[in-house]
Structure 1
Amino acid sequence: MSAILRAAVNEVTHVRQYQPGRVVSASKVVDMRSDTVTRPSPAMRKVMAEAVVGDDVYGEDVTVNELERKCAEYFGKESALFVLSGSMGNLLAVMSHCGMRGSEMIVGQQAHMHRWEQGGYAQLAGVSATTLVNEPDGTIALDAIETAVRDGTDFHQPTTQLLCLENTHNYRGGVAITIDYMQKVRTLADKYGFRVHIDGARLINAAVALGVSADKLVADADSVQMCFSKGLGAPMGSILCGDKAFIERARRSRKAVGGGWRQAGILAAAASMALENGVHTVTRDHANAVRLATELNRLASDKFLVNMNTLQTNIIMVQLRSNDAAVLCEKLGAMDPAVLCSPFDADRIRLVTHCDIQDSDIDVVVNAFAKL
């Protein structure tokens, strides 16, 4: 190995072991902070290297075009747009659905779009939000939505243009929202004339958990965004799907927020492979999550417990009997082997299975928790 290549490998290893505030120097690191930490497999790197590319701003990248066609079909929508990230996809959905600045959307208080996307809907789209409580199953109560809708007859108030839902719901532990609920939401949307957008960052996880196809799960939504870099193993990129007019508006807005890209087929090739393997990938992740949660509960610890009734996908919420989640995460990261995980709030630790987690890694995590 050349000196330059060796230095590059060392740098990547250093970054891989990074945790906010320090560098982990353990013999082995199991990173379960998120399913965003995965690296492209050798097979994925190969298809990226061999991708046929062009200038996507001119609409000439055939690999991007094929990915968009494939995703539109996969989600049962007319058209699709490949974008940089889930946050960008969600922002473009708000901009394209709401149109006039000063309109309003309804979103859950614990939704990713509200909590972790820097308020882009207000900051960049000029749209205000009514935030409603997310129920334990990730939904928003139908009567709460109906009460919150404002029809614009009073010019003192904004007009409700959009309802945003999240599936799976991150803050509620990766729970999946059902088709039945979506059908009831559609009835409300048709009654009051607002649109429905799904932040489906982990939508394939939801589809697998519910045993339904992705297109049926979003059939009652006007648009859906899904990440290729969460759970599916691609390095970056998301897809936004909807009708043709919606996607054309989103494409125009994408340029305005700096999302026009050139030979993006390199990334689209990875995304396409991730989509093709998606059901298999997340099915394995779900099985690993159940195994890990079961083993943690077998420890019969007086410090923590996993509620198996709310474990549906690849997100494991470890409920602590104290408010020291950050301290325990520090301890787990300081062990050798080290386990990297996230203090989700004061009394919950989040563990996320993903395609880079092997069977032996589950054993490492269980042993680390046993030491606590």
Structure 2
Amino acid sequence: MPEMEQILQAAGDLLGSELFNPVDLGGNPRSTVLRCHMASGGSVIVKSYSTEPQGLRSFASEAAGLSLRLAGPELLGVDVDVPLLVMTDLGRAPTLADVLLGDDPEAARKGLLAWARGLGRLAAESVGRRADLARIRERYDKGVPSWEDEPWIEQAAADLLVLLDRAEVPVPYGLAEELAEIGRAVRKEYSAFTPGDTCPDNNLLTPDGLKLIDFEGSCFQSVFLTAAYCRMPFSTCWCVFRLPRGLAEDVEHAFRAEIVTAYPILAEDALWRAGVRQAMAVWTVDATVALLPRVLTEDRPMHRTRRPVPTMRQLLRHRWEMLGVAEDFPALAETMRLLMRKVAGSWAVAPLPEYPAFSAQSVTDVS
């Protein structure tokens, strides 16, 4: 990761204004995010990236995704060499995670529906812009394929078979073929733009409406993969609890109502439901191979510092329970039931609770 002085100098050169008082907003192993004040007045967000492959992928994807100008902060400048971006500062509004972990159920419900409508509107408006994103990404390409070109669905399916063997879980007959068919179906059609990481803490609830941040995973993918985020909910995120009965359906409907303006055929219930179930299967396999190796011997919280938060074992068991009744995928459903019996059967963890905003029940806290 570049040194602070180098980051501030490069970002200041892009803006033609000296930057000072940087405040670290978190980031991740791939990137550093800073709020900086300008000598000319106001503040901006500066985001620099590591030169490891994942950092370079994130840089190219975010620069291209913001350059489409469909959503997110305004892109003020790009330094391909450092590499870094300078963006407008969207302020200190609460995130969707803040309201879901808070104590106001109406604010949480409204936040979820605004999030789903915003994602659906973005997806619908992006249809037809896939070639534009690819062309822009070439400008910032650092030699690492985008997630759109990465065979991550197929890799997760292969990794699941290896993981089952390691966990001494028998592989049901036909599982590999079933996973391959699910992957082909999800990749086939109905693509739209997504920022990638649309988790609750990457969505600001501002007085002017929903504002999306973090475009490191920008790409075009099946709208069903985003719809599954509404239904599961939040397929790859740490801030995952149960939703009250019926609310997941309302959130999914809010997303679908927007996307059918671009893909009217998705108003057909059978087609929609099958696509969402396939996407849920993809995300459940992805979560299993990402999390299960980390908790085979002991449980861990889903986030290093945020509380309240569920544990990884709570989340996995919840995902497996949801997919264990999927009649569309008999081999995969049987795999989920086997994981429940042979792996989760010995886990002394409470069921995944509701989001704190909807329930007074406290979440198991792991220190």
After TM superposition, the score normalised by the length of structure 2 is: 0.23
Q: Choose between structure 1 and 2 for higher RCO, CA contacts under 8 A separated by at least 6 residues.
A: 1
Judging by fraction of residues, say which structure has more strand: 1
